Structure 1
Amino acid sequence: MKFSHNMHKVARMKPDYLGFIFYEKSRRYMADTLHPKDLQELPRQIRKVGVFVDATTQEMLKQAKKYQLDLLQLHGQESAEQCEEIKKAGFKVIKVFSIGQQDFDFAQLDAYKPHVSYFLFDTAGEHPGGNGETFDWGQLRRYDQEVPFFLSGGISLDNVPQLRELSFFNIHAIDVNSRFEIEPGLKDVNLVQKLKDKLYGRDERKPERLPFSLRRKKQ
């Protein structure tokens, strides 16, 4: 999210997470348009995720405290040791891994497992982020499903049926963004509502409701 008025419109749809880019090279960089007070006004049940790319632990913790973030999403080459530092500081960690067309080596996740709450899998590409394209979701069959994960990368209204076929994976939430934007950081509220209705129907009491996250796709 990047704009206060748009953020509050999306918040009324009760997403489980809203995401905020703290990467200055991103078109969705939010520090110039959102203030800590804007985030503090969000309902407490919506968890706030800060997205960082190769930032220092000190900088991430500074921003996390300033904006009262709940989770930190690490989207660069951050080490397992840095994830451990953030966890010890009291914040949950989402570590991102980008999956390309070749076989992804899931063994590299082992060092991170003790220190993260979730992984996020998206599509490898030119930019840090999902680049608005899907990867071969079949590769997830080789993941041991030990740590729950966010699924990102090219999720749209068109591939919701394929999402339902992944119900046996340990998916904690889906992460949608670029396919639901009017411009970088400005969400199309009508499209987001259509996604929610298509995923869950209009009965929010359904126990099988899958969390959804509005954060980032490509930086």
Structure 2
Amino acid sequence: QYLKIGATLLNIGDKQGDGSERIKINLGSVQTTALITNSGDSPDGNTPAILLLGTHASNTININRGSLGIAYYPTEVATVATLRQAFFDNALDDTTVYLGAGVAVADIVKSGGVLDINSDTTSFRQTAGTTTIHAGAHTVLNILAGLLNYNSTGTLAAVNLSGDGVLVFDQDARPKDVTVIDKFTDESEIFDESGSIASPVIDLNNCGDLSTIHMGQDFKLTFGATS
């Protein structure tokens, strides 16, 4: 059961202590800005300690430490205008966030942690951590650093890959619809050894190290000017 509360501001974890192992809050249709600064450890080791629901189109969720699930269970729905996932001490795993299939999320700004996405996104920006996209269509992924696993068969319209960011398609070998990948640095890498992208379009902008593009065997390179 969820605690139903229409709060415009929601703060979780800002006191001393280990944090609660289970918090379940349904924010209803009220516009909410949430700040999560800590949580306890999940009692079952799998389900996030904090579970949230809320359907207002302008909800904003900020998490700096702890584990969070939004519309975690299959039948649940939620709306998030902006998700900001960050960290206090460890950019790799201070935060763990799971967005269920019923989440309508527009913008994600991620500077750390582990993130699982199961629905459409409009804008995504990552500067650290690991993200796995399991489902949904995605307008633009901006990967400046960290790892992103793209396992969805939904359309991926655009990728901007820079820094030492790594983009991997090999966790799920099903055919993928990827419109264009813009690569801006030789330090960034693309992995599609399984050949899941039938006709990849990769634009190398101010870089040219082909050894960082891992496309398996039996593929054709077509050279042209970047647009």
Scaled by the length of structure 1, the TM-score of the pair is 0.28
Scaled by the length of structure 2, the TM-score of the pair is 0.27
Larger Rg: 2
